[in-house]
Amino acid sequence: MSLRQKRVVVVGGTSGIGLAVAQGAVAEGASVVVGSSTADKMASVKDKLQGAEAITVNVREEGSVEAFFAKVGPFDHLVFTAGDWGQFRDARTIDQVDLEQARELFAVRFWGAVACVKHAHKHLRPGASITLTDGTVAHRPRKGAPLSTAMAGGIEHLVRGLAVDLAPIRVNGVCPAGIRTDVWASIPEALREERFRKMTERQPLPRIGEPEEVAEAYLYLMKGGYTTGQVLRVDGGATSV
Ligand SMILES: NC(=O)c1ccc[n+]([C@@H]2O[C@H](COP(=O)([O-])OP(=O)(O)OC[C@H]3O[C@@H](n4cnc5c(N)ncnc54)[C@H](OP(=O)(O)O)[C@@H]3O)[C@@H](O)[C@H]2O)c1
């Protein structure tokens, strides 16, 4: 299976992992639509993604998601990489968790994905796929972060459930470890490489991943016509040790 002349929609495709997936799909001959919520990123993508279409969508709002897919029309592959880190940080003890803020943790990455699947699947052509995104915290819980583990693990089980529910649409996921994207930009540059070194020193491949490396997993999952219900870990071996 090839992406040539396929229409690929990447929600969250204006930066980081999603942008690398969009660039990879364009390079393989697909026509690409990217969606995200901020005007700045939508504008910046025009230089980085020649020939791709950019349409605004806020996955927190179901009406926005429905309107987005109505504008997109028929397409072949949905990739969901939208993520935000909101106001909620769950590095605290469970008895201190503010439940309203805790729900916020799921708003974009979990419920945003559900909203996109709900409104996208009726526009998908035969042979279609959907690929969602979680992270290695699903498999490597950290002290003080149980809700992040629950959220990421929930996405993996959503993949399995949807693969059965929406068959023959194929539904898969990608589970990255640390990848060099803007999510790390809040760490001062001088400290960032040291943080990456510490984060990855016990991995079989002891370095941060690059967006292009994880993008390969999404490109495979779009093309791999006999693969469904799977979550592909792209983690430098982090979850093997
Ligand atoms: N980078 C890592 O180290 C890493 C590791 C493990 C897992 N992951 C997962 O990989 C995914 C992508 O991460 P990334 O590093 O590529 O992040 P990123 O560079 O911050 O990209 C996130 C994308 O999501 C979009 N987005 C955020 N809120 C949105 C909303 N409400 N509606 C629509 N789009 C929205 C952003 O655009 P706008 O701001 O314009 O909306 C942006 O295009 C996330 O689920 C993250 O948890 C990342």
Give the domain CATH number at 221. 3.40.50.720
Mean pLDDT of 51-61: 96
Which helix (H) or strand (E) segment holds residue 125: the answer is strand 124-133
61 lines ligand 1 (CB under 6 A): no
Q: How many angstroms separate the alpha carbon of residue 131 from the centre of ligand 1? A: 14
Structural domain contains residue 160: yes
pLDDT, tens only, 175-212: 999 999 999 998 998 899 999 999 999 999 999 999 99
Structural domain contains residue 240: no
236 lines ligand 1 (CB under 6 A): no
Choose one of 80, 179, 196 to mutate for the ligand 1 pocket test, by most ligand atoms within 8 angstroms of C-beta.
179
Structural domain contains residue 137: yes
173 lines ligand 1 (CB under 6 A): no
Taking the mean position of all CA atoms in its chain, how far away is CA 62? 18
Domain that holds residue 173: 7-235
Structural domain contains residue 2: no
- Ligand 1 atom closest to residue 13's alpha carbon, by position in its atom list: 43
CA distance 34 to 79: 10
pLDDT above 80: residue 86 = no
Q: How many angstroms separate the alpha carbon of residue 11 from the centre of ligand 1? A: 9
pLDDT, tens only, 107-139: 999 999 999 999 999 999 999 999 999 999 999
Structural domain contains residue 198: yes
Structural domain contains residue 152: yes
Give 205's contacts (C-beta < 8 A, 6+ positions apart): 236, 237
Q: How many angstroms separate the alpha carbon of residue 46 from the centre of ligand 1? A: 18
Choose one of 11, 14, 88 to mutate for the ligand 1 pocket test, by most ligand atoms within 8 angstroms of C-beta.
14
Residue 47: per-residue pLDDT: 87
Which residue's CA lies nearest to atom 1 of ligand 1? 179
Structural domain contains residue 241: no
Structural domain contains residue 124: yes
Residue 108: per-residue pLDDT: 97
Q: How many angstroms separate the alpha carbon of residue 218 from the centre of ligand 1? A: 15
pLDDT, tens only, 219-236: 999 999 999 999 999 999
Beta strands in 134-195 (DSSP E): 170-176
Domain count, the chain: 1
